[in-house]
Structure 1
Amino acid sequence: MSRTPRLQDLIRVLRHYTVPIGGPELAEMLGITLRTLYRDIATLRAVGVEVVNEPGQGYVLPPDVALPPAALAEPAPREPSELIFYTNPLSRGGIVHWMLEELGVPYRTVTLEYGSMMKSPDFLAINPMGKVPALRHGDSVITEAAAICAYLADAFPAAGLAPPPAARGDYYRWLFFASGPLEAALGLNALGVHPTPKQQVQLGSGDFRAVLDTLSSAVAGRRYIAGDTFSAADIYVGSQLGWGMYFGTIPRRPEFEAYCEGLRDRPARARCEAFVEQALSPLA
């Protein structure tokens, strides 16, 4: 890899972390040797990007550090295609709505009523399931809330809603745990279906209590579920837990409440909640 992309990757990784990263760990994440890492850090410092070395802890990029010169900056993004968001306020579309608000990019919302609008030929051409949310981005159509969140995090990397590729283990694990086993277990439990031990072996969701215990352990004592910074995984997991506890499909465990409370101060989430409250007001 040439030096400029390497320096861009180094800046991107350091921007993602608010705590120091040890040199060996940082080099492994970037796929370079320690010697190359030291040279690259020296290069950044030489052009005015002050990478701080915390003794005994590692490297960190202060939040107020000067941006790199144009030669090292990330390439300018292509002219964005229009984002069209198909949703209903009382649906899983709220997850994607929060994600879009976190991105801070323009998008157009198309609100569909349940019933004929979601089953219309026009919308079925977008999502044959006749369900929301769905997203059109240029020529691409993405459905399923978790997939949309993952897609948007990659399509708009400047928002920092996905960890660097080498640090995405927990990010992918919990994003898709919440959209897979958790979602399935909640659905079965809500329908009064309680699989036998033999049936649980055949189901990806397994046992309802085991799913909740696993997620409790994942969020216990942590502000964010996939590292030291907020990510799309927090949007999905936090939404599932928040709505589940609100509607009583998920028990109000202390670990769940503490985790969700830590996400409440995000302005993007507050804007989405106001949108839902406005939709609910005629029903009150």
Structure 2
Amino acid sequence: MSRKTRLQDIVLVMRRHEGPVSGTTLAETLGISLRTLYQDIAVLKAVGADIEHLPGTGYTLAPGVLLPALMLTDEQLDALSLGLVKVQDAEGPLAAPAAQLRDKVADALPDEQAQRLTGLKSDQGSAGLAAANPVSEGPWGSDRGEETATGELVFYTHPLSRGSIVHWMLEELGVAYRTVVLDYGTSMKAPDYLAINPMGKVPAIRHGDVVVTETAAICAYLADAFPQAGLAPPLALRGDYYRWLFFAAGPLETAVSLNGLLGVYPDERQQMKLGCGSLQAVADTLAGAVAGKRYIAGDAFSAADIYVGAHLSWGLQFGSIPWRPEFEAYCAGLNERPARQRSEAFLQQAMAQGA
């Protein structure tokens, strides 16, 4: 079941209850886990649904709540329109349903996109579509990159893990994905999951036949797999993007793990043998990278901001990263992003439930 379908079903189930409905009842009715329900409730609230949680009682939905209009990129809209046109032109048994579907989708779209959907003529064909709709320039320019990969996107995680970084990334992409929440020491070490990641750790993703582990690698892969989201710059502009994405994955993670988790403070000789050097050197270097900047790799938000920003926010919150005014200013801007707030709401809900 896609997230969009689940969101619609949650609203419908809540409408059928005159009073508050418990999370357990909602989850059982929809056939989903409580963690998935909490995540979906957070998404609904983030997009404006007036849902109130009454402790010990359940959830209530304000009258008249509607889901937001269908959100499609221009490329997705053109692909849908062209496909429906071709089915209509075939004059087979699906021609009439295709026309009906086109009208229904148009009704759910903003006026400008509805006109775009219904205005494409069958004689345009693929070449006409390309000519009529040139590649639009995003924050990085007109380099669209590789074609989007296909297949179901499955996200393996635990709320209290680095999976929260990938969760933020997925929310920024705005694509459909299925979440599989695993428990430490049990399902995370089960044979089915070890076939995905022999390390028995999360996060991991499976996209069609492609499996990717390691958080930074997942973020880099997703940015390339879904170029329409604009979360990676063109190749010619990826110097800082790659540099800081993997600086955080390498020196920053290593230094924080040594100092904050293990209480190990290498001396000068030992620092020479370590790629991270000292935590102070790492912090000073990263502070210089974000000083006076809204984004770490140019003028547009990217997957590098997700990875670096998540580590800095977490480190500042728990004291594992030395405080710098540059870090505080940089993270403040990132934390205002709706996708970040949705992923954070899921984390806070999971912590409140004792995950």
TM-score (norm. length: structure 1): 0.73
| Equivalence map 1:67-146=2 (5 Å) | 69-70=131-132, 72-73=134-135, 80-146=150-216
Compute the displacement of 1:205 (Å). Answer: 0.7
Q: Secondary structure of 2:344's partner?
A: helix
After superposition, the Cα gap between the structure-2 partners of 1:70 and 1:258, relative to the gap in structure 1 and judged at 3 Å, is: same
Compute the displacement of 1:71 (Å). Answer: 6.5
Deviations 1:78-113 (CA, angstroms, capped at 9, x unpaired): 672100000001000010000011000000000001
Deviates more, 1:88-97 or 1:244-253: 244-253
Please list every run of 5 or more consecutive structure 1 residues that lacks an aligned counterpart in the other structure: 1-66
Compute the displacement of 1:252 (Å). Answer: 2.5
Aligned match for 2:347, one of 261, 276, 280: 276
RMSD: 2.0
- Contact 2:148/2:226, CA 8 A, preserved across alignment: no
Deviations 1:199-230 (CA, angstroms, capped at 9, x unpaired): 11111111111001000111111000000000
How far apart, in 2, do the equivalents of 1:105 and 1:149 lie?
Answer: 14
Structure 2 match to 1:153: 223
Say which structure is richer in helix. 2
Q: Secondary structure of 1:251's partner?
A: coil
How far apart, in 2, do the equivalents of 1:75 and 1:100 lie?
Answer: 19
Q: Does 1:170 align with 2:240?
A: yes
| Equivalence map 1:192-231=2 (5 Å) | 192-231=263-302
Compute the displacement of 1:116 (Å). Answer: 1.2
How far apart, in 1, do the equivalents of 2:302 and 2:145 lie?
Answer: 22
One-letter identity of the residue aligned with 1:204: G
Q: Secondary structure of 1:283's partner?
A: coil
- Contact 2:197/2:204, CA 8 A, preserved across alignment: yes
How far apart, in 2, do the equivalents of 1:142 and 1:75 lie?
Answer: 20
| Equivalence map 1:25-36=2 (5 Å) | none
Please list every run of 5 or more consecutive structure 2 residues that lacks an aligned counterpart in the other structure: 1-128, 136-143
Equivalent pairs counted in the alignment come to 218
- Contact 2:149/2:225, CA 8 A, preserved across alignment: no
Aligned match for 2:328, one of 253, 257, 262: 257
Structure 2 match to 1:61: none
After superposition, the Cα gap between the structure-2 partners of 1:118 and 1:81, relative to the gap in structure 1 and judged at 3 Å, is: same
Aligned-residue sequence identity (percent) comes to: 69
Q: Secondary structure of 1:161's partner?
A: coil
How far apart, in 2, do the equivalents of 1:171 and 1:123 lie?
Answer: 31
How far apart, in 2, do the equivalents of 1:131 and 1:142 lie?
Answer: 12
Compute the displacement of 1:246 (Å). Answer: 1.1
Q: Find the structure with the greater CA-based Rg.
A: 2
Structure 1 match to 2:78: none
After superposition, the Cα gap between the structure-2 partners of 1:116 and 1:132, relative to the gap in structure 1 and judged at 3 Å, is: same
Aligned match for 2:305, one of 229, 234, 250: 234
One-letter identity of the residue aligned with 2:299: D
- Contact 2:251/2:275, CA 8 A, preserved across alignment: yes
| Structure 1 residue runs of 4 or more that deviate by more than 3 Å after TM superposition | 67-79
One-letter identity of the residue aligned with 1:233: A
Deviations 1:219-260 (CA, angstroms, capped at 9, x unpaired): 111000000000000000000000111111112321100000
Compute the displacement of 1:282 (Å). Answer: 2.3
Deviations 1:167-220 (CA, angstroms, capped at 9, x unpaired): 000000000000000000000002111112111111111111100100011111
Compute the displacement of 1:68 (Å). Answer: 7.5
After superposition, the Cα gap between the structure-2 partners of 1:254 and 1:277, relative to the gap in structure 1 and judged at 3 Å, is: same
| Equivalence map 1:180-199=2 (5 Å) | 180-190=250-260, 191-199=262-270
Compute the displacement of 1:119 (Å). Answer: 0.7
TM-score (norm. length: structure 2): 0.59
Structure 2 match to 1:32: none
Q: Secondary structure of 1:262's partner?
A: helix
